[in-house]
Structure 1
Amino acid sequence: MTTTALPAPGQAPKLHTKKLPTVAFFGVAVVALGLGAALSYGTGIGGWVLALVLGLVLYLVGVFIAVNAVEGRRSARNRTWSALIHSAFVLAVLPLISVVWTLVSKGADRLDGDFFGSSMNNIGARDPNGGAYHAIIGTLEQVGIAALITIPLGVLGAIYIVEYGRGRFTFLIRFFVDVMTGIPSIVAGLFVLAFWVLIVSPWFNDGAPAFSGFAAALALSVLMLPTIVRSTEEMLRLVPAPLREGSYALGVPKWKTILKIVIPTALPGIVTGIMLSIARAAGETAPVLLVAGGSAAINFNPFDAQQGSLSLFVFQQAGDASRFAPARAWTAALTLVALVLILTIAAKLLARRNRIPR
């Protein structure tokens, strides 16, 4: 058992302890990476990934030894765990940076007016032109219709579960929402194909099944609904009860309390859940392929004829034998990510503007 020695009479206690200089951590990192690279490449068992992993392990060991020698065991444990947390953060961010860099570097080749102003209609395998204008229109219309259908249903369903729901019926709603969360996108597409395309659409198309962008929007709605319900439900439960009670004490009706107090308080989290569902819907390929067909021509009417989308365009171009197709696929992927990013930023700014000031 170790004890701390008390200062001698008349001697001031030591308020400062020895600290390992910051440059020492850089030195430990350089030595660790060098040893990791030597072990990885010298033995021939791996490449730069293994060198980074070995360097990280050796860095943590080196930090513990160096800090333990200068600052003591307790500080060494603290510094080692801090280094481990920072390293885990870097490892988590690296794949994201890699994806962004790959999209920007490979997708910049076709960032031109022809790509955003033309379609793939009458474009052959040897034609370097052609763009994703038709796919951009299809994605915006399909996701927009799906959002108009799903956001009110999802938010109102979550309000019912949190504010009004009691008993077995609410339990069943929660259960089926949880089940729907894990439904594969291909199943949602098959459901809309069997119900809307093969049964309902022949009533409006002289008895023939009709593929359309609206059918794709219905399939995307099935995928978006559980995400919106669950995220909105959790955000509403985080609203403090005293806010509701204070409003009730002032004689405000429950519906107005929900509309004016509860929803604005939870709005940033609700918007986050909505944008997650929109991002998932914008990136789905299987439902659009099953029920919208994926036309290469421009179609502004989502209720009539086949229609494409950006995710389906990426899928088609990635599998095309043309040497010009990969560049189109990368640019379309970059465009899709940029659209989701722009919508997310706009929604966040709108939610920040409309929330209750603290």
Structure 2
Amino acid sequence: MDATNTLPAARASVPAAVSRVRPGRRIADRILIVSSTLATAIGIVVLGSILLMLIVEGVKGFSPMLFVEPTPGPGSVGGGIANAILGSLVLTFIGIVVATPIGLMAGTYLAEYGRSSKLADLIRFLNDILLSAPSILIGLFVYTLMVRPMGTYSGWAGGVALAIIATPVIVRTTEDMLRLVPATQREAGAALGAPPSVVIRSITWRGASAGIVTGIILALARIAGETAPLLFTALNNNSWFNANLLGGIPNLPVMIYQFALSPYPNWQQLAWAGALLITVTILALSVVARVLVKSERAR
């Protein structure tokens, strides 16, 4: 009889407890929403202010001469950044050409051959370390490895430094994209008697081609604005570079760094224009990468 009486009382106490808990949860939920919205607004305002300042100052330096004349000497009037643009294109091209086959083959090994082996785990661990390593340390490494023995700065050293930075990005993206290819496709190729190398070339690479290209584009955007490693490898030059790529190589990131700190208004204006050009280029590469990712997901 006592137990029968206590049951309704217990049930009656449940709504009361819930009613006491719900206001606290609602308050916490509102606090979280307001905090998240405020943090997002602060980030948008800061980023928008930076982009607005870059556009306003960078557009002032844009002119037809910007893309046809080399960087001027100290105190000179006029000039452009044509040599820096060409030098950056050459350095980026060397870096991505060296990094792409290495990253593609390493990512293929991790996804297709190594899988969960101890060697694959070690490679992934080292790749993650390299992915987060400060770029200035990579510049110092290449300086010790190439610049000091050669006795001069060079575009080859700059390209190798950029390749080291781009490689882990391509490795990670390639492995992830190949793992997304259904195992049934590999099994179908093996059932037809195709060896693993043929299955990889004809099926898995083709199925993950858009994702792999996206990783290469992301790596390209990653190294396009790197400054620290080029300070120790390619340095800079206010004139056109040699065909053998020996000596200082003009490039946009180092040019922006040096001209922005100079006391000459003309150099500072060219630095703003170069910064806007790099930003627009990286933005375009990022948009292309996102479009490719969406097309890959749609498939």
Work out the CA distance in 2 between the residues paired with 1:352 and 1:263: 18
From 178, 197, 201, the equivalent of 1:255 is 197
Cα deviation for residue 266 of structure 1 reads 3.0
Moved more, 105-114 or 298-307: 298-307
Larger radius of gyration: 1
* Equivalent residue, structure 1, for 2:82: 133
TM-score normalised according to structure 1 size: 0.68
Following superposition of structure 1 onto structure 2, how do residues 1-358 of structure 1 map, counting pairs within 5 Å?
Answer: 89-121=40-72, 123-125=73-75, 127-165=76-114, 167-199=117-149, 201=150, 209-299=151-241, 301=243, 303-345=245-287, 358=299
Shift in Å at residue 218 of structure 1?
Answer: 0.7
The separation in 2 between residues aligned to 1:196 and 1:313, in whole angstroms, is 22
Contact 2:166–2:219 (CA<8 Å) still a contact in 1?
A: yes
Aligned residues: 280
Q: How far did residue 256 of structure 1 move? A: 3.0
Residue 264 to residue 100, structure 1, CA distance change in 2 (3 Å) = farther
Shift of 1:194: 1.5
Deviation (angstroms), 1:263? 2.6
Q: Which moved more, 1:305-314 or 1:139-148?
A: 305-314
Q: What is the identity, as a one-letter code, of the residue corresponding to 1:192?
A: V
Q: Distance in 2 between matches of 1:161 and 1:150?
A: 16
Q: Helix, strand or coil: the match of 2:54? A: helix
Q: Deviations over 1:50-92 (max 9, x none)?
A: xxxxxxxxxxxxxxxxxx9xxx999999888777766655554
Q: Distance in 2 between matches of 1:120 and 1:349?
A: 35
Question: Which amino acid letter does the alignment assign opposite residue 202 of structure 2?
Answer: K
Matched residue type, 1:194: T
Distance 1:330 1:99 in 2: 12
Which runs of no fewer than 5 residues in structure 2 stay unpaired?
1-13, 17-21
* C-alpha distance in structure 1 between counterparts of 2:298 and 2:203, whole Å: 11
Between structures 1 and 2, the one with greater helix share: 2
CA distance in 1, matches of 2:203, 2:89: 32
Q: How much does 1:98 deviate?
A: 2.9
Question: How high is the TM-score relative to the length of structure 2?
Answer: 0.79
- 2:67, 2:92 → 1: CA distance? 19
Aligned identity (percent) is: 32
Question: Against the structure 1 CA distance between its residues 176 and 92, is the aligned structure 2 distance closer, same or farther, given a 3 Å change threshold?
Answer: same
> 2: CA distance between counterparts of 1:347 and 1:145?
20
Amino acid at match of 2:272: W
CA gap 1:81/1:286 in 2 versus in 1, 3 angstroms: closer
How far, CA to CA, are the matches of 1:218 and 1:156 in structure 2? 18
Structure with larger RCO (C-alpha < 8 A, sep 6+): 2
- Aligned to 2:60, the other structure's residue is in SS state helix
Q: Is the 8 A contact 1:142 1:302 kept in 2?
A: no
Contact between 1:106 and 1:327, CA under 8 Å: does it hold in 2? yes
CA contact (8 A) 1:150 1:224 kept: yes
Deviating more after overlay: 157-166 vs 169-178: 169-178
Q: 1:348 to 1:302 in 2, by over 3 A?
A: farther
AA aligned opposite 1:315: Y
CA RMSD of aligned residues (A): 3.1
Query: CA offset at residue 245 of structure 1?
Result: 2.6
Q: 8 Å contact 1:271–1:351 — kept in the other structure?
A: no
Give the superposition deviation at 1:184.
1.8
Contact 1:248 1:257 in 2 (8 A): yes
CA-to-partner distance for each residue in 1:191-219, whole Å, 9 max, x for gaps? Answer: 222221222x3xxxxxxx13211110011
In structure 1, what is the Cα distance between the partners aligned to 2:277 and 2:160?
23
Q: Which amino acid aligns with 1:104?
A: I
| Displacement of 1:300 | 5.8
Residues 211 and 293 in structure 2, CA contact (< 8 A), matched pair in contact too: no
